Amino acid sequence: MQLTSVIIPNYNGLHWLKPCVQSIRQHTRIPYEIIVVDNGSKDGSLEYCLAHRIKLISLPANRGFPAACNIGIRAASGDALLLLNNDTLMTPGGLENMVRCLYSSEEIGIVGPMTNYASGKQQITEPFTNVADMAARMNEPDSGKWLEVDRIVGLCFLFRRELIDRIGLLDERFSPGHFEDDDYCYRARQSGFRLMIAGDSFIYHHGSASFQKENGQTVKQLVLRNRQQFIDKWGVDPLQFI
């Protein structure tokens, strides 16, 4: 079975990173590797990764989310690549069902899960109870729950290496983050790939842990700036794809 490289950018997020890594190790039953790309953390994240035999790329300063993802992709060994926020929790069958969806057709370019905290169609409509309960109810393999969409949110973003060969890496003009995932989805669709929500995969997301304040800019400022950058690049508003 193919190896999946799980790439986790991290910046002073040890309190999120530890349970994230633990959840992957506890619940994933397919071949995987974890790569943490650390953006100059000073909170013990490096020591944790080294102590727990996690493949670590340590950057001297915060390069932002897109650059960290690209560095992780270049170091990855897997045929499938999962860009994963550090403030997520993997669930039993969550990654397996996403991978099954991804490899169900060569036309599928990017797959994402359902979650409790996301914009757009990946947001669950039912009330959230707890992680174990949601996973037990939602993660039974069922291709009937797969849904083609125009956009996958970058919190948990699965694709094959062939996609990189076709459309390249994430666009770092969107650093430190926001809309790099929308841009990648748009490029994938422009190249003829389909985007799918694996409705039989629930992944927990704490939400907005990574971008409270970056480089002196608030989240709102970043969103406004990068939305405009997307419009300038493509001539369309990314919000129309939500």
Q: Amino acid identity of 77?
A: S
With tokens 């990764």, the residue in question is 49
Taking only the tens place, the pLDDT of each residue in 79-93 is 999 999 999 999 999
Query: Residue 39 has which token pair?
Result: 């953006």
Find the length of the chain.
242
Please state the domain extents for the chain.
Answer: 4-241
| C-alpha to C-alpha distance for 164 and 170, rounded to whole angstroms | 9
| pTM of structure | 0.95
DSSP string, 130-142: -HHHHHHHH-S--
pLDDT surpasses 60 at 215: no
Taking only the tens place, the pLDDT of each residue in 26-67 is 999 999 999 999 999 999 999 999 999 999 999 999 999 999
Percent of the chain with pLDDT over 90: 93
Other CB atoms within 10 Å distance of the CB of residue 171? 17
Q: Is 138 exposed, middle or buried (0-12, 13-18, 19+ CB in 10 A)?
A: buried
With tokens 């039912």, the residue in question is 126
With tokens 């405009």, the residue in question is 228
| Residue 138: per-residue pLDDT | 98
Instruction: Compute the mean pLDDT over every residue in the chain, rounded to the nearest whole number.
Output: 95
| Residue 212: per-residue pLDDT | 52
Q: Which top CATH class is 4-241? A: alpha beta
> For the residues 156-181, what does the mean pLDDT come to?
97
Cβ–Cβ < 8 Å for 210, 202: no
